[in-house]
Amino acid sequence: MKINKINVLQLVASMLLIIGVSSCSKKSSSTGKGSSRATGWNVNNKKGGFKKAGEQEAGPGLVFVEGGTFTMGKVQDDVMHDWNNTPNQQHVQSFYMDETEVTNFMYLEYLQWLKNVFPPTEENYKHIYEGALPDTLVWRNRLGYSETMTNNYLRHPAYASYPVVGVNWIQANEFSKWRTDRVNEALLEKNGYLKKNAKTEDVTAESSFSTETYFNSPTATYGGDDKIVLKGKKGSAKATTTKGGKTIQPKNLYVQRSSGLLLPEYRLPTEAEWEYAAAADVGQREYNVYKGQKKYPWSGQYTRSGKRQTKGDQLANFKQGNGDYGGIAGWSDDGADITNEVKKYPANDFGLYDMAGNVAEWVADVYRPIVDNEFNDFNYFRGNQYTKNKIGKDGKAEIITKETMKYDTLSNGKVIARTFPGQLVQVPVDENETYLRQNFDRSNNLNFRDGDQQSSKEYKFASSESTKEPKTMYNSPKHNVTVDSLGKMVRKYDRSNKRTTLINDNVRVYKGGSWRDRAYWLDPAQRRYFPQDMATDYIGFRCAMSRVGSKSQNKKRPRN
């Protein structure tokens, strides 16, 4: 018995020793308060070390959309027979998307900022504000009275929560860039890296904030004023320490990309992302398969609600039939005759509102009739134009000034600013980035494998023919706008009868049905196109943001 007791005590001691060693090992290998698994350094140490890994936070107005696989382009009905919805399997990474369409109020914030920072009364900036204004004349009709919307829809408070329209693709894209900088500017101020209220009190045309400029050279933002751009939460003046009677300036106190504080850019969603988010097939997922294909962003084959409390109500804002945009007065089918306030209809299974009806929405892609899933089935996107920072003679990235900012004159004569003071100058990538690469070999990839001559197997890359400008497959009209010697704008409309299509590199995809469309267009897989520099009264937009890090927000658990 005595021997057995000793054996038991030895066994218990051995187990305690193993448990202690195991717990110490786990503590030392953690990336939390313990030491780094890579270096043994203490992470998040104020005197040095590295930032602990963390999850990305959703930006203002955004909803998380967990990525996955889905059948892109599969429509329930195809009465048009235009063969541009060929079903193909795609996978989309997780991302964030605006809960609602961008509203008039949100866009007016943008216009007010532009007006304050770039006064339209100054000759050098007069086209900036004017170029960002939505086209309110889109409401007019030759045989219809719509002056009420023309005069009031954008600015009247009654329409503040309605989706903005009259915005072309270029304007929507520029709004997204502006939104990125304003959100990150606020994050820096909140965390003590920018002077409080500088974003409203100190910002000028020559002294403003750009996210990419800040990452490249923090001291170049706000005109290099170190009283605005601070080194750390307490500011540059107080961010010094004294050691042995010597004053030491802490290093790397500006926010860097590795800090994880600033958010990725707001942008227009890709067509694949928009369709995936609108369909929200996750609502009928069974293990790793989908239980059938949805016809609309909601379950079922009908546009009316089958729930007891809302039975018979329309689930979207769309055109019911000839002359029927809302229903009989007194009890409306969908509660609207033109657009409607956002969030008036139920959200889909991702928590996104109005992914069918209200307004159709711009997406990032250039339109082509085919989706080339044979070449790529992961984050599909046609529209890549790769650029890099332009390096000046001093070896530093060049920054745009008021003298070097650029404007675009659209086909309709409207002038739009494409670069702003304080941003980094971008140039196309060249052989330095593409030489001997297998994944890309040019800056502009809009026409890659789209059926043009250079995509053909008959194209002779090694011959002298390849040095000539390739003939494009799409023989579309080429409208031209020039300025004569007197400074007068001359518009030249292409009246050629030899044109065979409207498709070119300047037409963009738009998705989703609108208040002007029949239920046929509410199917998330339907796709149409429109010139990127033109606007309508039925196309709006919403923004998206890529997710960095894990695919899921929550840890996966087995069902059983």
Q: How many CB atoms sit inside 10 A of residue 164's CB?
A: 25
Distance CA 327, CA 235 (A): 60
Residues 173 and 113 in one domain: yes
Residues 475 and 342 in one domain: no
Domain around 452: 447-504
Distance CA 115, CA 133 (A): 11
Residues 377 and 496 in one domain: no
- Which pLDDT score, from 0 to 100, does residue 21 have? 44
- Which pLDDT score, from 0 to 100, does residue 46 have? 55
Separation in Å, CA 244 to CA 21, 46, 237, 240, 247? 40, 19, 19, 13, 8
Nearest to 159 by CA among 358, 329, 376: 358
Residues 146/151/153/154 CA torsion (nearest 10 deg): 140
Residues 129 and 71 in one domain: yes
**Is residue 40 one of the residues assigned to a domain?**
no
- Which pLDDT score, from 0 to 100, does residue 457 have? 55
**Is residue 113 one of the residues assigned to a domain?**
yes
Residues 78 and 100 in one domain: yes
Residue 363 is part of a domain; what is its CATH number? 3.90.1580.10
Residues 514 and 492 in one domain: no
Entry field: residues in the chain: 560
Q: How many CB atoms sit inside 10 A of residue 551's CB?
A: 11
**Is residue 17 one of the residues assigned to a domain?**
no
- Which pLDDT score, from 0 to 100, does residue 286 have? 74
Residues 487 and 517 in one domain: no
Strand partners, 15: none
Distance CA 141, CA 524 (A): 28
Cα distance from N-terminal residue to C-terminal residue, the chain: 46
Residues 520 and 494 in one domain: no
Residues 123 and 182 in one domain: yes
**Is residue 329 one of the residues assigned to a domain?**
yes
**Domain stop point among 486, 504, 522:** 504
Residues 151 and 72 in one domain: yes
**Is residue 30 one of the residues assigned to a domain?**
no
For the chain, which residues score pLDDT lower than 70?
Answer: 1-53, 233-252, 452-473, 484-487, 556-560
Burial class (CB in 10 A: 0-12, 13-18, 19+), 339: buried
Burial class (CB in 10 A: 0-12, 13-18, 19+), 50: middle
**Is residue 500 one of the residues assigned to a domain?**
yes
DSSP string, 115-181: HHHS-TTSGGGHHHHHHHS--GGGG-BTTB--HHHHHHTTT-GGGTTSBP-S--HHHHHHHHHHHHH
Nearest to 275 by CA among 528, 560, 499, 555: 528
**Is residue 439 one of the residues assigned to a domain?**
no
Residues 367 and 267 in one domain: yes
Beta strands in 246-371 (DSSP E): 246-248, 285-286, 289-290, 360-366
**Is residue 291 one of the residues assigned to a domain?**
yes
How many separate domains does the chain show? Answer: 2
- Which pLDDT score, from 0 to 100, does residue 239 have? 43
Separation in Å, CA 145 to CA 140, 141, 142, 148, 326? 7, 7, 8, 8, 17
Residues 6+ away with beta carbon under 8 Å from 98: 61, 62, 63, 352, 542, 543, 544
Residues 184 and 100 in one domain: yes
Give per-residue burial for 406-432: e unless 16+ CB within 10 Å, then b: eeebbbeebebbeebbbbbbbeebeee
